[in-house]
Chains A and B, each alone.
Chain A
Amino acid sequence: MNTLDYIVLVGTLVSIAAYGLWRTRGRRDLHGYLKGAGNTPWFVIGLSIMATQASSTTFLSTPGQGFESGLGFVQNYFGAPLALIVIAIVFVPIYRRLNVYTAYEFLGKRFDQKTRLLGAALFLVQRGIGAAITIYAPAIVLSTVMGWSLNATILCTGALVLIYTAVGGSDAVNLTQKYQIGVIFLGMFAAFGVLVSKLPEWLSFGDALTVAGGLKKLEAVDFSFDVHKRYTLWSGIFGGMFLALSYFGTDQSQVQRYLSGGSVRESRLGLMFNGVFKIPMQFFILLLGALVFVFYQFERPPIFFNQTAWQQHARGESAEKMHALETNFAAAHAQRRDLLKAWIEAKHSGDPARIESARSAALAANDRAEAIRTEAKKAMSPEPGKSAKDSDYVFITFVLDYLPHGLIGLLVTVFFAAALSSKAGELNALGSTTTVDLYRHVIRRDAADAHYVIASKWFTAGWGVVAIALALCATLTENLIEFTNIVGSIFYGVPLGLFLTAFFLEKVGGTAVFWGALIAQVLVIVCYFATDIGYLWLNPLGCGLCMLFGVILQAVGGEKKLSFA
């Protein structure tokens, strides 16, 4: 990065944060601080929901997922439109009718206070970890590639978002997210344009898709019923729907976004905006990764994309082995490049026999090159027999090596803007839940609004500090975007079970559902560590177990019927 890149990065991030602070200065009442002015239009709510969900891992890690495994990850989002419709029909009118600040207030009104506190506690634990990942994930990749200090990157990013979120509240989050998501789209479209322009002249866009498809990067939909596969149509629709129901319907970081609208209409349309655009957005980012894969078929890629780690290894005891791997990979890559070119030339000739023969030769060459890369990944792994992951470093490597200056700054801004927008939503929700469900409800009930606003600012800042502290201690081995979804899937099913029991099982009371939820959460955690089922299935499992145990305990215990209506 040069001076121009740093000007783009710092100038954009600081000016958006300063604008958010300036526009929301002087907010004194709790309603305004937690819900905003109540006049947020639906498209801003829609963008805000999108920005809260799309953290920097979405833009840093998802292209790497597309590079490594193709478009199949898009199935993770197949349940989202269905879930958003259910939330618009069922959840939104209830939240707005009860005029709640947090989703967990509803649990208190429907069940009892211990269930409300359980819901809030599950959210605080899960989202507290999530907030740390949100800040750690981009920092580890960007600091490694840029040569920055990891701790300084975490501290600077964390401090900036902490200040404007704590001071400005919900409106500052909505306002800044609108501009941050604008910068994000601008940067991603620009990167896509540059990537396509840098493909070889003889390779049309259709040819690039042919190469990607031939190398199995465009298989977006898997119709098989194998529950051990992470991404299938069915795990996406059912598991993904439960994940999205829980995330958008019961996670305060999202609930707070659509409760900032002036009416049910604004909230619903904001959700439907995401129902329409979420899948195309993820498809676009994954396709970008698949095209980066095609690009690196014709430009020599590093054998291992985390070059900093590779070079450290290459200076150690296994230097000779690493050098041999690099030499072999260079030769295999050159052969693959030539055979892929021959395949495309054969395709243009229209001769089916020649096409098939050239295609087979190209695929075999790709298998040889990938086998060497796999060997290199195994050499980089601290655990014998396992492969180290480098997919999170793919897109940033492309950005730094092939984009012009100025645009590099814009793309690095994209990663940080996404981190800030997502973390702002999380901190805002953590502060609100702590204030409304714990502090105001348990510790100090009858203070003035101004007191709760100040308390909320301090709680927001406190959660920011906790997230930064956790991020400073974190280490990750999974692909970042997958890790985020795995943590979510472990903790999201049970809260959703609480809410669905509240909505649809009128005879189940607070004590039964409280213990049912605790047992279900323990079983989900055991299931994750003791079995190898795809993690998306943990969402319906946790939800179903919570509801089932609630019904059983209610039948056994005979608790008095409770109703919130």
Chain B
Amino acid sequence: MTPAPEPEDNDTGLPGLRSWRGVYLFVLGCFATYVAALAIFGRYFA
């Protein structure tokens, strides 16, 4: 049901992150890193 993205937008135009899958994984990786860092930060100074 979800239509495919427009063909000219397959390239993200970002150096090192050529595919959209790569961009989404990068954002997910940032999110996981933030949660882990915040948990460690809170524990360290508790």
Contacts and interface: CB of A to CB of B under 8 A. Distances in A.
A307 interface: no
Given A219-B46, A265-B13, A94 B2 contact: yes
A220 B38 contact: yes
Interface string A255-282: 0000000011100110010011001100
A484 to B, nearest CB: 23
Interface stretch (A79-87, A427-435, A543-551): A79-87
Given A212-B45, A219-B42, A89 B1 contact: no
A221 B38 contact: yes
B30 A504 contact: no
Given A82-B31, A221-B39, A279-B31, A93 B2 contact: yes
Contacts of B35: 78, 221, 233
Interface in A213-233: 213-214, 216, 218-221, 223, 233
B38 to A, nearest CB: 4
Contact of A265 (B3, B9, B28, B42): B9
B9 A94 contact: no
A264 B10 CA distance: 9
B26 to A, nearest CB: 8
Interface in A79-108: 81-82, 84-85, 88-90, 93-94, 96-97
Q: Name which of B12, B13, B23, B45 has the most chain A CB atoms within 10 A of its CB.
A: B45
What interface size band does chain B fall in? Answer: 20 to 34
Contacts of A233: 35
A218 B2 contact: no
A133 interface: no
Contacts, number: 96
A216 B3 CA distance: 48
B2 to A, nearest CB: 6
Given A85-B27, A265-B12, A279 B2 contact: no
A275 B1 contact: no
Interface string B1-38: 11111101101111000001001101110110011001
Max chain A C-beta neighbours (<10 A), residue from B6, B12, B31, B44: B31
Interface in A120-144: none
Chain A: interface secondary structure? helix
A89 B2 contact: yes
Nearest to B6: A264
B44 to A, nearest CB: 7
Contacts of B9: 263-265, 268
Interface string A335-379: 000000000000000000000000000000000000000000000
A74 B45 CA distance: 17
Nearest to A276: B30
A283 interface: yes
A464 B31 CA distance: 37
A71 interface: yes
B3 A97 contact: yes
Contacts of B14: 269
Given A74-B38, A221-B35, A221-B39, A272 B27 contact: yes
A124 to B, nearest CB: 28
B12 A269 contact: yes
B3 to A, nearest CB: 5
A210 B4 contact: no
Nearest to B32: A81
A530 interface: no
Contacts of B28: 81-82, 85
19 contacts: A78-B31, A81-B27, A82-B28, A82-B31, A85-B28, A88-B20, A89-B20, A97-B6, A213-B46, A214-B46, A264-B9, A265-B12, A268-B23, A272-B23, A272-B24, A275-B31, A503-B1, A504-B1, A506-B1
Closest 3 CB pairs of A and B: A213-B45, A220-B38, A265-B9
Interface of A: 71, 74, 78, 81-82, 84-85, 88-90, 93-94, 96-97, 209-210, 212-214, 216, 218-221, 223, 233, 263-265, 268-269, 272, 275-276, 279-280, 283, 503-504, 506, 565
Interface of B: 1-6, 8-9, 11-14, 20, 23-24, 26-28, 30-31, 34-35, 38-39, 41-42, 44-46
